[in-house]
Amino acid sequence: MNTVIRTPVLSRRRIWTALGIAVVADGLQVVLELAGGPLGYAIADVIDVVTMVTMTVLLGFHPLFLPAFVAEFMPVIDMLPTWTACVGVVIALRRKQQQPVEPPPPPPGDVIDV
């Protein structure tokens, strides 16, 4: 199976690293957008590509990364913390997905062997 597509087991380190990178990426982009100029916009675009690849490596590919990635190229919307929000949602979904499933309780009246 392809290692980019597989969903890695979330560890605290992966979660905090992904959230930290998302916050830094969003913060840098706000600063670059406010500074303006073609170089600032180009650097912001590079940050988006690097962030997308990094999140895919850390958390595994998730379809929610695609709208966040596209939104970063739209004026005004790119000033919102889209990476931070997206990473938070993906982490919550992955954690829910990776929780062990408990077996259902036995039907009433069944004898349970201990």
pTM: 0.78
Express each pLDDT in 51-84 by its tens digit.
999 999 999 999 999 999 999 888 888 888 999 9
Residue 45: CB atoms within 10 A of its CB come to: 15
CA-closest candidate to residue 25, choices 48, 3, 7? 48
Q: How sure is the predictor about 1, in pLDDT bands with cuts at 50, 70 and 90?
A: very low
Average pLDDT value for residue range 35-53: 89
When mean pLDDT is compared over 1-15, 26-40, 56-70, the highest value belongs to: 56-70
> For residue 25, what pLDDT is reported?
95
d(CA 6, CA 85): 22
Other Cβ atoms less than 10 A from the Cβ of 51: the count is 26
The pLDDT score that the predictor gives to residue 2 is 52
Average pLDDT, the chain: 85
Instruction: Collapse the DSSP code of 34 into the 3-class scheme (helix H, G, I; strand E, B; otherwise coil) and give the result.
Output: helix
